[in-house]
Structure 1
Amino acid sequence: MSGFLRGTGVALATPFNKDGSIDYPGVTSLVEYCIKGGVDYLVVLGTTAESVTLSKEEKHTLVNHIVKTNNSRLPLVIGIGGNNTNAILQEIKETDLSYFDAILSVVPMYNKPTQEGIFYHYQQINDVVPIPVLLYNVPSRTGTNMTAETTLRLAQLNNIIGIKEAVGDFTQVLKIIKDKPKDFLVISGDDALALPAVAAGGDGVISVIGQGFPQEFSKMIRLGLKGETEKAFSILYKLLPVLEYAFEEGNPAGIKNILKTKGVCEDYLRSPLVSVSGDLERKIKNYIEAF
């Protein structure tokens, strides 16, 4: 059931114009660049999309534009999450999910719930959602780690098909892979650890850098899934410098500058985020020119 989300998904950035409005030609350019680059699916309204700065109307228009541009070519995942469970349940009910294959829902941030609170939060989502759900654990942003034990407990619920795991603790990733149900997806949320996770039995990645280097990143993950680890790791080592550059001054500032340097879209961000420094921009430019 969940095999269509194996491989490389990309958490799409949202291109903006200089005045802060959404750059829809830039959105089209980015979607086409990812599809032509060979990624396996697209994730909309994730953290990389600066979704917390988008109004309800902007989200609706952006989603419709991506759906239209994609034109059913790739599976689509939509981010619906937050720290108000009732508001998320309402948003799920109000969102047209007919074009989407799954929801990506992050561990509640700021509130710092207990493990039991996290479980109950997702249990309520599981009970109302009409399509599959991917959990998303990213303690560096949420302030709370969902443990392997809680993830494995949630994996027993009927609509929860996998996790985007960005814990930064590889031992936790291994615990989930070791004891997960057979069809439960373990998807890396950390670009640098994606291939090691695949080699350990994981199912792929929801990537940031994958939209900047879709061809190379997708090939790397495909090789990893086929067990051709030597070839896969040679690609990872080539990408390693830019993986660091992409996050050196925060996400999505880094990936947006990469996309600008490659001519895909501009690199404007919404406050409180700002563009990368001149020094980092030079490093990115030099890397891409030498790639």
Structure 2
Amino acid sequence: MFAGVYTALVTPFNDKKEIDKECLKKIVKFQLDKGISGLVPVGTTGESPTVTHQENMDVIEMVVKEVNGRVPVIAGTGSNSTDEAIRMTKIAKDIGANASLQVSPYYNKPTQEGLYQHFMTIADAVDLPVMVYNIQGRTGVNINTDTLMRLAKHENIVAVKEASGDLGQMMEVLRRKPADFDVLSGDDNLALPLVLLGGAGVVSVVSNIIPKRMEELVLAARQGELDKARKLHYDLLPLFKSMFVETNPIPVKTAMAAMGLIKDVYRLPLCQASEENRKFIQNVLKDYGLI
């Protein structure tokens, strides 16, 4: 169902730290013009922890309207409260989102059975495809492969954004998954190995700034053009690394601001990159001809 590059879209703010609606439309158009496979608004990169629930839904609605059916929109509607995730996912379905991104519950650190019941309850409550989001570094809990395989039996749970950083775990998921269950990398630097091992693509941070190049990389990998894919991967590796010199999404928003796509504005506790890292990111962008 989901193959290619899905941009984990940033949420642009204006100088008053309000959502910049016109800027959001502009960056969505930029993504569409560059041939992106799909968009994922209000995930980690979209600063979901600091937008209100109403803002969360407003951003999703704006993206859905701007996309107008041209590519899938996977709405970030996850929560560490199952009831809240269901409420937001129902709204996302009514808005017209094509699927929902459901992060594993954070802070309350459920057991594997708790994780299973959480995702199953959401999938039962809302008839909308679910992409499970496994990112232990943010949530404090890993979705074990046995748990994920139980979840994959549900007709609405169709994919996983795998950001554990553990290639061994990813390979086990790929080995055991149903044929119609998609595995996407949650890390740009692991997109190539995951796709070559049988993954479907990537939910990408760096595609906020280089959507076309990421599409070329993933397409080459999916088509078995190994030399081309390997070259693209190593050509882009310094850029991948630069996007994580500070906590995501600070570096990518710093880069987008330097490119004139958004303003360099965040909501606390996130803040602007250090001067040293800002200069580093700008120098990397210059190396790639992006500024």
TM-score between both structures, scaled by the size of structure 2: 0.95
Deviation for aligned residue 1:136: 0.6
Kept after mapping to 2: 8 A contact 1:107/1:136: yes
Q: Which sections of structure 1, spanning at least 5 residues, go unmatched?
A: none
Aligned with residue 26 of structure 2, among 12, 26, 29:
29
Correspondence for 2:100: 103
Aligned with residue 116 of structure 1, among 106, 113, 116:
113
Deviates more, 1:40-49 or 1:233-242: 233-242
Q: In the alignment, is residue 245 of structure 1 matched against residue 246 of structure 2?
A: no
RMSD: 1.3
Correspondence for 1:195: 192
- For residues 39 and 93 of structure 1, the distance between their equivalents in structure 2, rounded to whole angstroms, comes to 26
Correspondence for 1:228: 225
Runs of 4+ in 1 over 4 A off after TM superposition: none
- For residues 31 and 94 of structure 1, the distance between their equivalents in structure 2, rounded to whole angstroms, comes to 21
Correspondence for 2:154: 157
Deviation for aligned residue 1:74: 1.2
3-state SS of 1:97 partner = helix
Please list the CA deviations of residues 170-215 of structure 1 after superposition, one character each: whole Å capped at 9, or x if unmatched: 0000000011101100011011101100000000001111111111
Correspondence for 1:91: 88
Q: In the alignment, is residue 77 of structure 1 matched against residue 74 of structure 2?
A: yes
- For residues 65 and 134 of structure 1, the distance between their equivalents in structure 2, rounded to whole angstroms, comes to 21
- For residues 133 and 184 of structure 1, the distance between their equivalents in structure 2, rounded to whole angstroms, comes to 11
The structure-2 alpha-carbon separation of the partners of 1:207 and 1:222, relative to structure 1 and needing over 3 Å to count, comes to same
Deviation for aligned residue 1:96: 4.2
Kept after mapping to 2: 8 A contact 1:29/1:265: no
3-state SS of 1:105 partner = strand
- How many residue pairs are counted as aligned between the two chains? 288
The structure-2 alpha-carbon separation of the partners of 1:86 and 1:31, relative to structure 1 and needing over 3 Å to count, comes to same
Deviation for aligned residue 1:19: 1.5
How much identity, in percent, do the aligned residues show?
38
Q: In the alignment, is residue 51 of structure 1 matched against residue 53 of structure 2?
A: no
- For residues 91 and 280 of structure 1, the distance between their equivalents in structure 2, rounded to whole angstroms, comes to 36
Kept after mapping to 1: 8 A contact 2:11/2:47: yes
Deviation for aligned residue 1:31: 0.7
Q: Which amino acid aligns with 2:139?
A: T
Deviates more, 1:84-93 or 1:192-201: 84-93
Correspondence for 1:273: 270
Kept after mapping to 1: 8 A contact 2:23/2:262: yes
Q: Which sections of structure 2, spanning at least 5 residues, go unmatched?
A: none
Deviates more, 1:228-237 or 1:94-103: 94-103
Q: In the alignment, is residue 9 of structure 1 matched against residue 6 of structure 2?
A: yes
Deviation for aligned residue 1:88: 1.8
Please list the CA deviations of residues 112-141 of structure 1 after superposition, one character each: whole Å capped at 9, or x if unmatched: 111111111111111111111111100000
Deviation for aligned residue 1:94: 4.0
Kept after mapping to 1: 8 A contact 2:9/2:46: yes
3-state SS of 2:45 partner = helix
Q: Which amino acid aligns with 2:29?
A: E
TM-score between both structures, scaled by the size of structure 1: 0.95
Kept after mapping to 2: 8 A contact 1:76/1:101: yes
Deviation for aligned residue 1:86: 2.0
3-state SS of 2:228 partner = helix
The structure-2 alpha-carbon separation of the partners of 1:98 and 1:113, relative to structure 1 and needing over 3 Å to count, comes to same
Deviation for aligned residue 1:103: 0.8
Correspondence for 1:133: 130
Q: In the alignment, is residue 257 of structure 1 matched against residue 258 of structure 2?
A: no
Correspondence for 2:201: 204
Kept after mapping to 2: 8 A contact 1:110/1:142: yes
Q: In the alignment, is residue 216 of structure 1 matched against residue 217 of structure 2?
A: no
- Counterparts of residues 164-183 of structure 1 (less than 5 Å): 164-183=161-180
